[in-house]
Amino acid sequence: FCDGKTVKCMTSAQDHKRAGDGDTGLNTGGMGTFSPSPFYTKEIEDFCEKHIYQPTMDAMAAEGRPFVGVLFTGLMLTEDGPKVLEYNARFGDPEAQVVLPRMKNDIIEVMEACIDGRLDEIDLQFEDNAAVCVVLASDGYPVSYEKGFLIEGLENFKDKDGYYCFHAGSKMTEKGIVTNGGRVLGITAKGADLKEARKNAYAATEWVNFANKYMRHDIGKAIDEA
C-alpha cells in the first residue's frame, strides 16, 4: 500500500505461472498461490523495502507523479539478491486471494489512509497462519477452451469459515452461474500452516464442479522444498 510517500508492505505470496503440473506448459495469468512464501525471509523483506519499494516511491514523487494505491512488485530471488520482474498498479491475481484473507485490517480504512496521505498512521497486520489458492480453469486454457458450462456446488462455501471461492471467468445467466473465461474460480483456504492450508484448499476444490474443470495438482509444491 502506498500514499505517495509512505510504503506499508503486505505479507508475501508466491505464484505458479505455468499451466501444467511440474511447471510445464505455457505461461498463464497464474494457476495458484500460497502465502506467506517461506523464501521471502525477513532479511529479504528488509532489503526490498530499503532498496526497491521505498526508492520506487521516492523516485516517482521526485518526478512529480507520486504513486497512490496498491503496487504489486513481482520479484525473482537470484544468487545476486532479489530482482524486479514487473510492477503492477493493482493487486496481484491470484496473489490477492491469499493475501487479503489473512489481513486483519479493514481494507477500506487502509485505502482511505492511502488517499489521505496518512498511511504512516496505519498498523498493517496479518494473521499468523497461511493460505493457499488453487485456480479452477477451463480445460485448454491458456490457448482455446469452451465456455458456458454450468458451475455447480457454489453453495458449499456458504458459512464455511476460512474457505473462499473467488469468481473470475464466470457470469450469471438465467440457468445459473456459468463459465465465461480461462481462469474460472479461485479456491482459497486458510490453515495453521502452509501444508494444512494446501490440504484444505485441495479438499475445497472438490466442492464445486463444471464440465471442463482443470487445475494443477501441485500448487504449493515449493512448500516441501523450503
**How is 147-172 classified by DSSP, letter by letter?**
--PBPB-GGGGTT-TTEEEEESSEEE
Q: pLDDT tens, 184-225? A: 999 999 999 999 999 999 999 999 999 999 999 999 988 887
pLDDT band at 226 (very low <50, low <70, confident <90, very high): low
In this structure, are residues 5 and 57 in contact, taking their beta carbons and an 8 Å threshold?
yes
Query: Residue type for 96, please?
Result: A
Q: How far is CA 218 from the centre of its chain?
A: 16
pTM: 0.95
Q: pLDDT tens, 32-49? A: 999 999 999 999 999 999
Residue 109 confidence (pLDDT) above 90: yes
Q: pLDDT tens, 123-132? A: 999 999 999 9
Domains along the sequence of the chain with CATH: 2-225 (3.30.470.20)
Find the mean pLDDT for residues 139-153.
Answer: 98
3-class SS at 71? coil
In this structure, are residues 191 and 142 in contact, taking their beta carbons and an 8 Å threshold?
no
Residue with cell 480453469: 137
